[in-house]
Structures are given as structure tokens and as C-alpha cells.
């Protein structure tokens, strides 16, 4: 369910279409709670998007409305994907854009997983 004051979930958003298999994506991982694929415009040698299987618009929506099992399953999947990609030893960065000020473009909650090189400052400037 959307958070009060935010728009409802758009079932035609691009990640919903990827989840339904209507649009191809470079799949990295899938389980009951999460689906992961390579970002179409990578910002690092490894740039994976991890999304929950459920219909959540944003982190605000997911954190407020997803079940404990969905949240635990999703977070465990993010950790497993990073480990399986060999990113634990060198390190990696997770990022979730929420809403207008963060520049969230796709209204299905997603975590960016970046790695493969030193990633610099957390926020430029
Ligand atoms: P946001 O700004 O919403 O946090 O990030 C959206 C991300 O989705 C961007 O990094 C963008 O490159 C990626 N993206 C947008 N459309 C597609 C697509 O059709 N396929 C894939 N694989 N990534 C996409």
C-alpha cells in the first residue's frame, strides 16, 4: 500500500514490467522476495538493482507496509548478492533514492548496489 500522501503504486512502471518478464533485464539473482538485475546505465563496474517482488513504490512504502518476512528476505538477498559478486572483501555501497529530493526515477522500491572500484565520497560536493 502506498504511504499516505504519496501516489499509488503504478503497475506499469518499468521495474514492474521487468518483474513480469515483459521487458528483458540482465538478471543477476532471484528468490521469493527479491529480483536483481544490472542497471542499464551503470555508474560503477558493478551496478546492480535489487527490487522486492512485492508492489512497493519506495523505501517509505516498503519499510512501512511490507511484512517482516518480506523485509528480512529482501535484506538477506541484498547481502547474498553482494557476497556472490565477490564484493565483500573490497567493499561496496548501497543506495536507495526515495522521492523527489533524492531523484527517484522509477517508482518501485530499489536498492542500488555499487562496487568494483573505489567509490569516492558518499555525496559529491
Ligand atoms: P533511481 O534514480 O530511481 O534510484 O534509479 C533508477 C535506475 O534505474 C537508474 O540507475 C537507471 O539507469 C535504471 N533503469 C531505468 N530504466 C531501466 C531499464 O529499463 N532497465 C534497467 N536494467 N535499468 C533501468
Distance CA 25, CA 1 (A): 26
Regarding pTM above 0.75, the answer is: yes
In this model, does residue 11 exceed pLDDT 60? yes
- Report the CATH number of the 16-89 domain: 3.30.428.10
Question: Mind giving me the DSSP string for 22-81?
Answer: SS---EEEE-SSEEEEE-SS-SSSEEEEEEESS---SHHHHHHHS-HHHHHHHHHHHHHH
In this model, does residue 117 exceed pLDDT 80? yes
- Residue 1's pLDDT band (cuts 50, 70, 90): low
Q: Where are the domains of the chain?
A: 16-89
Mutate to test the pocket of ligand 1, among 14, 21, 109 (most ligand atoms within 8 A of CB): 14
In ligand 1, the atom with minimum distance to the C-alpha of 103 is 2
Amino acid at each position: 500500500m502506498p504511504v499516505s500522501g504519496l501516489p499509488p503504486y503504478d503497475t506499469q512502471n518499468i521495474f514492474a514490467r521487468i518483474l513480469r518478464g515483459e521487458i528483458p533485464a540482465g538478471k543477476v539473482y532471484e528468490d521469493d522476495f527479491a529480483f536483481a538485475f544490472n542497471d542499464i546505465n551503470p555508474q560503477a563496474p558493478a551496478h546492480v538493482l535489487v527490487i522486492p517482488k512485492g508492489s512497493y513504490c519506495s523505501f517509505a512504502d516498503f519499510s512501512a507496509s511490507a511484512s517482516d518476512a518480506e523485509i528480512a528476505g529482501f535484506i538477506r538477498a541484498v547481502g547474498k548478492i553482494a557476497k556472490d559478486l565477490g564484493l565483500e572483501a573490497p567493499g561496496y555501497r548501497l543506495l536507495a533514492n526515495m522521492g523527489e529530493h533524492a531523484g527517484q526515477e522509477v517508482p518501485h522500491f530499489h536498492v542500488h548496489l555499487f562496487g568494483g572500484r573505489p567509490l569516492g565520497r558518499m555525496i559529491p560536493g
